[in-house]
Amino acid sequence: MSLADAPLSKIQDRAPAPRHVADRGRSRLSEALRSWEALLVALFLAIFLANSLASPYFLDIWNLSDATFNFTEKAIVALALAFVILSGEIDISVAGIIALASTVMGLLAAGGAGLPLVAGAGLCTGLACGIVNGALVTGLGLPSIVATIGTMSLFRGLSYAILGDGAFTQYPEGFEFFGQGYVWEWLSFEFAAFLVLALVAGIVLHRTVVGRAIRAVGHNPFAARFSGLPVGRLKFLAFVVTGLAAGLASVMLTSRLGSTRPSIALGWELEIVTMVVLGGVSINGGSGSILGVVLAAFVMGLITFGLGLLNVPGIIMSIFIGLLLIAVIALPVLAGRLARRFSKGPR
């Protein structure tokens, strides 16, 4: 019997068994190169080693504790701002909120208000500013960059209108603890608060429905809305929390400096946004991690503190940080291209 006349079952029995070719999986090296957190850890270790070799004073535990003051207040705001950027929006008024909150605290302190009222006023001012930003973006539908450019000028302008060239320097007893106090040995109150808030932010973003919804909104707001997610309320909440975080940072910064001037925290908005983006949060929204933001804060803090120990001028620090930002953004792109090229294999 020929093959053509054979039953189909017989032909299937004689046919060779299909060969299963395993998909080429991504190597651990390529995965590591594509990871923001891995790059930041390597960068952190390299900077830590370089600083320890460059200055004999760097490894002193109290010097390392002092180094945390370089970034803690900015990092606290960056934790909250990460949620705004993850939702596909941006807030560049955070430094103006800090200035206005500090001015309100100074006004109350000058009038004889006590510690709870002064500190509470700083938090409430930040909260109110966050509500204003959220209402402009989600209520009126203004683009967030336009709205927060306007409120950035508004908030700081109010500080200049109230203070002019003056300053508030009288604060109630005990107020200095928020920015200068220590909770245990070398562990400052500011740094301890940052660690706790980082843990809370990480749990919210990576372990709760709210965090998943924020990422979904940033990834595709139209699909999120059709899926029943309260897009407007989530964005509004992110702006409100960011304002509250800026108010907290204002309390700490004013306490640490011991005075209020309208130029307080000038230029911080760009540094805070840089910290978030350097941490791997996509400027377009939808992806990123709190761990990356924390690592970016440590990296930026180590750089500025190490260069300070070497008496490097501030302008050189700015140039170095700018070059570092470009390098860290470019490296994952180049590594991804190399990984994709190698994954195709030889032709």
Whether the CB-CB separation of 154 and 96 falls below 8 Å is answered with yes
- Cβ distance 136 to 236 under 8 Å? no
**Structure confidence at residue 152 (pLDDT):** 96
Dist. CA 125–CA 260, nearest whole Å:
15
Question: For residue 28, what pLDDT is reported?
Answer: 54
DSSP labels for 153-206? HHHHHHHHHHHTT--B----TTTTHHHH-EEETTEEHHHHHHHHHHHHHHHHHH
From the number of C-beta atoms within 10 Å of its C-beta (0-12, 13-18, 19+), residue 256 rates as middle
Q: Which pLDDT score is estimated for 153?
A: 95
The pLDDT tens digits for 191-247 are: 999 999 999 999 999 999 999 999 999 999 889 998 899 999 999 999 999 999 999
Pair 300, 318: CB distance under 8 Å = no
- Asked if residues 276 and 85 have their Cβ atoms less than 8 Å apart, the reply is yes
Please state the pTM of the whole predicted model: 0.85
Q: Which residue's structure tokens are 């109630």? A: 172
Q: Look at residue 328 in the predicted model and tell me its pLDDT.
A: 62
pLDDT digit string (tens) for the chain, length 347 residues: 444 454 544 444 444 444 443 434 445 555 544 577 888 898 899 988 988 888 777 888 888 888 898 899 999 999 999 999 999 999 999 999 999 999 999 999 998 899 999 999 999 999 999 999 999 999 999 999 999 999 999 999 999 999 988 889 889 999 999 999 999 888 999 999 999 999 999 999 999 999 999 999 999 988 999 889 999 999 999 999 999 999 999 999 999 999 999 999 988 888 898 899 889 888 888 888 999 999 999 998 888 887 777 777 877 777 776 776 676 667 667 767 887 777 765 55
* Domain locations in the chain as residue ranges: 33-328
Which among 139, 142, 146, 144 has a CA at the least distance from the CA of 233? Answer: 139
Q: Supply 347's token pair.
A: 């032709």
Question: What's the confidence (pLDDT) of residue 145?
Answer: 94
Contact (CB, 8 A) for 37 and 292: yes
Q: Is the distance from CB of 134 to CB of 239 less than 8 angstroms? A: yes
Closest to 34 measured CA to CA, from 341, 339, 311: 339
Question: Half-sphere exposure (CA, 13 Å, Cβ side) for 144?
Answer: 22
DSSP 38-102: HHHHHHHHHHHHHHHHH-TTTT-HHHHHHHGGGTHHHHHHHHHHHHHHHTT-----HHHHHHHHH
pLDDT computed for residue 83 by the predictor: 96
Cα 340 to Cα 162: distance, rounded to the nearest angstrom = 57
The domain 33-328: what is its CATH number? 1.10.3470
Q: How many angstroms separate the CA atoms of 76 and 90, rounded?
A: 16
Q: What is the DSSP secondary structure assignment for residue 184, as one 8-state letter?
A: E
